[in-house]
Structure 1
Amino acid sequence: GVIYPKINSLGKFARVELGKIFGDKVIITGQGSLFMTHFTKDGITKIENSADAAKCDTMLLQKYHFKMISHDGIFFLPGKLGAISNAHNKDDIKKMITASENFLQDKN
């Protein structure tokens, strides 16, 4: 099949590029076509389980997702992970990367 390799590759691309943009401000987790952006706080340096994830800045994550929904036309369930489907392509991921860069600039 061609679908899983495609969406898994896009997921990896999203995780790598988001990691480059946010640096140590976030921890990007996920596997295959799934990804999650965890805004770190209180000295969190790794996410190993849901308790670690719950210690992250979930309000900032919701602001990030709401901005992408309201300003960029990119839909996330606020506070939830990103899921790439066969309908997505690299341009969609690049649009999300640009929106993420804009969010970071607006935040600072």
Structure 2
Amino acid sequence: MSVLATLLLMWAVTYPARLLGLGLGRLSLPPFWLNFLRFVPVSVFAALIVPDVLGSPEWPLRLFACVAGGLLLWRTRGLAAGILGGFAAYWLARALSGG
């Protein structure tokens, strides 16, 4: 299959789905669906993070770093502070544990 055909097929699959998603923003959804969709970003984030944190041999260090980063994010309301604080907590815990 040529590169152009592959790109056109990829466009044909993804563009309608994105267009549908953008169109949903103009619709008036029932309150149940609005409440349901509020939790989608948190659920996706947890689905991406939890297996990586708990599926590692060094999961206690990673869990500590996640908690520290989460607390910083909660207290400062700054994403950069939470991310950098989580990394710093992980590196500090790793250095103190001899890893």
Say whether the fold is shared (TM-score over 0.5). no
Structure ranking higher in helix proportion: 2
Higher relative contact order (CA 8 A, sep 6+): 1
Structure ranking higher in strand proportion: 1
- Using the size of structure 2 for normalisation, the TM-score is 0.30
Q: Choose 1 or 2 for highest CA Rg.
A: 2
